[in-house]
Structures are given as structure tokens and as C-alpha cells.
């Protein structure tokens, strides 16, 4: 398992990260996503560690804290030192009925950090991420709170999740101007069937040196190989929870190309979808979750898949984003300068 530097930090993480959204669900949304209990979670965590993964991601809102509790117990039972793990969690979602039991205010962040530390049974969190942009809280308040918690030793690094490019750049500017703890990474949705990130966010991440953690790399299971154009599918999460949104007709075309490449390599369609992400320069780590050990091992196997230049070109052609302003104008007006760069 390769490791990569997370953003501009000195922290190295495995190029695959274990996601724990399937831990602890019972009813409603979290029950549909996953209902794994301690024995099953222990198996997945130990398997991931055995395969060279050192990076695990969760969130306070997953099963309303149960995911963190189960993960904390699984880590305690694992034959690995805490300092050899990179543990990431998030806050920002709804954790109670009070109007202050959500968002990215100083009070809520403080409360949730301490609650997560207790549930995870750890003294510190390696990467703490704001799960969603909070339009009701001044960004300065959020960033100062994160900085103070780093200074207090509760957090090591801070990141964002599901923020727009302009919001991330504003946060980066504030941390630089006020000498606060810098933003290390972004956790975002990105798949070969959903490349919207490439319009604004991905170029910004590369420009500013921020790491990218990819969530739902198989588009909620749609790219797992279970779904085809006939509409028939094996049991999967999308049967009950059709998310994230996917242009299904375009995705079927992509799946058909991936099926051909997978057949030539004797691997799964899911492995091709994951390997494509691992070949993208902007990607630091791909978050893989599972309900079964065999699913997890199949996903991890994608780290060993090499895609040729021709195969990448095939996949790029079938999945390319349509031209959109200002992208097509930037390309047109930049051609006269690109020529000089290419000749150097």
C-alpha cells in the first residue's frame, strides 16, 4: 500500500482509507447504509490494517455517534499502536434538536470534539474536518475554534468536507492572514461517473497544495458492477438509498468500457473505477467502505491495478465532462500561452 503526503503537511497517509459509515446503523438512513456491529467492524478494521491501510475516517453523525464508538473499540482491539494510525472524524451535522446542536460554531465544535474523543477512546484526533459549510457561522469563528483546539493538543490537523472552491479559498486566505492552523485537506465526492470536481475544486486543490480524500468512490455502489442497463441489479445500497445523484445513462456507457478493461485484467469493475481515481494527480486517498470482508479486500486490490495510457484515454473519453463556461473560454484564450509552456 503506497502512502502519500496529505496536502502540504508532514503527515503521510495510505492511498486508501477505511470508511466507517456502515458501522452502527439501526433505523432510518443509517440503517439502510449499514448495520455492522462490533464483531463485523473488528474484522474490517483488522483486515484494513493487515493490508497496509493506516488511515481511517468516520464522523460524529454516522449512526449518531455509534460509528465512532464501534471504531474506537475496534482500534483498541487491534495489534497496532495508536501513533501508527491516522484517525479522521468530522462534525457539522445535526446531533440534537437544539438549534446549536449542529453547524460549525465555536460552541458546537468544542462540544463535538470532546464527545468524539470520548467515543473514539483516544487522546487526540489526527484530522478533524468540518463536514459541511455553515452559512450561519462566520468563517473566522470556525477557523479560530479549530486553531485553538490544535493548540490545546486535541487535534493535529484540520480539513473541510463538501465545500465549494470559493469557500475553501476564503478559508485558506483567512488562515494565512491570521496565522491560524492551515487547511490541510478536503473530503469530497469524486468518481469517474461524477467528475464535476474537476471544473473548479480540483485545480484549486492542486494550486494551493491541499490534499483530497474521495468519498463514495463507487457512486454509492453504482460502479460496483452490480448494476447494468437492463435495470436489474443484485442487492445493493442503491436499492434503498439512491445517492449520490448519477447520470445513469452516461454511467452505463462508462461501466461498459470498464467491463472490457476489467475482463482484460481479470479484475472487478469496482477495481477499475477505484484504480482510475488512484491515477488522478489530485487524489491523495480514496475512502473505501464495506459491509463484508470480501468486498473490502476487492476494493483494496485496486491499489495494485495499473492502467495504461491507452486505457486511461478510453476512460477519459467516455466519462469526459461537457464543456462549460468559463472553462471553454479559459482554454481558448490560454492557447497562445500554453504553446510557449509546452515548448519549454
* Residues tagged active-site: 62
144 CB contacts (<8 Å, ≥6 apart)?
Answer: 106, 178, 180
- Of 217, 303, 307, 233, the residue nearest 264 (C-alpha): 307
In this structure, what DSSP letter does residue 64 have? Answer: G
Nearest to 262 by CA among 165, 192, 204, 213: 192
Instruction: Say how far apart CA 269 and CA 116 lie, in whole Å.
Output: 36
How far is residue 218 CA from its own chain's centroid? 11
Give the three cell numbers for residue 283.
Answer: 487524489
CA 180, CA 157: separation in Å to the nearest integer? 11
C-alpha cell at 224: 460496483
Q: Are the C-beta atoms of 186 and 161 separated by less than 8 Å?
A: yes
Task: With H, G, I as helix, E, B as strand and everything else as coil, classify residue 282.
Answer: coil
241: left (phi > 0), else alpha (psi -120 to 50), else beta? beta
C-alpha radius of gyration, the chain, whole number = 20
Amino acid at each position: 500500500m503506497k502512502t502519500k503526503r496529505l496536502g502540504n503537511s508532514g503527515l503521510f497517509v495510505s492511498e486508501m482509507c477505511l470508511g466507517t459509515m456502515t458501522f452502527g446503523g439501526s433505523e432510518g438512513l443509517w440503517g439502510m447504509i449499514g448495520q455492522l456491529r462490533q464483531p463485523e467492524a473488528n474484522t474490517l478494521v483488522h483486515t484494513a490494517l493487515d493490508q497496509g491501510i493506516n488511515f481511517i475516517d468516520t464522523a460524529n453523525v454516522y449512526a449518531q455517534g455509534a460509528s465512532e464508538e464501534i471504531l474506537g473499540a475496534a482500534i483498541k482491539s487491534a495489534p497496532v499502536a495508536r501513533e501508527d494510525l491516522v484517525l479522521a472524524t468530522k462534525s457539522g451535522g445535526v446531533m440534537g434538536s437544539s438549534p446549536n446542536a449542529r453547524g460549525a460554531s465555536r460552541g458546537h465544535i468544542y462540544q463535538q470534539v470532546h464527545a468524539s474523543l470520548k467515543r473514539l477512546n483516544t487522546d487526540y484526533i489526527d484530522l478533524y474536518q468540518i463536514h459541511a459549510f455553515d452559512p450561519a457561522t462566520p468563517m473566522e469563528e470556525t477557523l479560530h475554534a479549530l486553531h485553538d483546539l490544535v493548540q490545546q493538543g486535541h487535534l493535529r490537523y484540520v480539513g473541510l468536507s463538501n465545500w465549494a472552491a470559493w469557500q475553501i479559498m476564503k478559508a485558506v486566505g483567512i488562515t494565512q492572514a491570521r496565522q491560524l492552523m492551515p487547511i490541510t485537506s478536503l473530503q469530497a465526492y469524486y468518481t469517474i461517473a461524477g467528475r464535476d470536481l474537476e471544473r473548479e475544486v480540483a485545480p484549486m486543490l492542486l494550486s494551493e497544495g491541499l490534499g483530497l480524500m474521495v468519498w463514495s468512490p463507487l457512486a454509492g455502489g453504482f460502479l460496483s458492477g452490480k448494476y447494468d442497463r437492463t435495470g436489474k441489479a443484485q442487492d445493493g445500497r442503491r436499492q434503498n438509498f439512491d445517492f449520490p445523484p448519477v447520470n445513469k445513462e452516461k454511467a452505463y456507457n462508462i461501466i461498459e468500457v470498464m467491463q472490457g478493461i476489467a475482463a482484460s485484467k481479470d479484475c472487478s469493475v469496482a477495481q477499475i473505477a477505484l484504480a482510475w481515481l488512484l491515477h488522478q494527480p489530485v487524489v491523495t486517498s480514496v475512502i473505501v467502505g464495506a459491509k463484508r470482508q470480501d468486498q473490502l479486500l476487492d476494493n483494496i486490490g485496486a491499489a495494485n491495478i495499473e492502467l495504461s495510457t491507452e486505457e486511461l484515454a478510453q476512460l477519459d473519453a467516455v466519462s469526459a465532462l461537457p464543456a462549460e463556461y468559463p472553462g471553454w473560454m479559459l482554454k481558448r484564450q490560454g492557447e497562445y500561452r500554453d504553446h510557449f509552456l509546452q515548448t519549454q
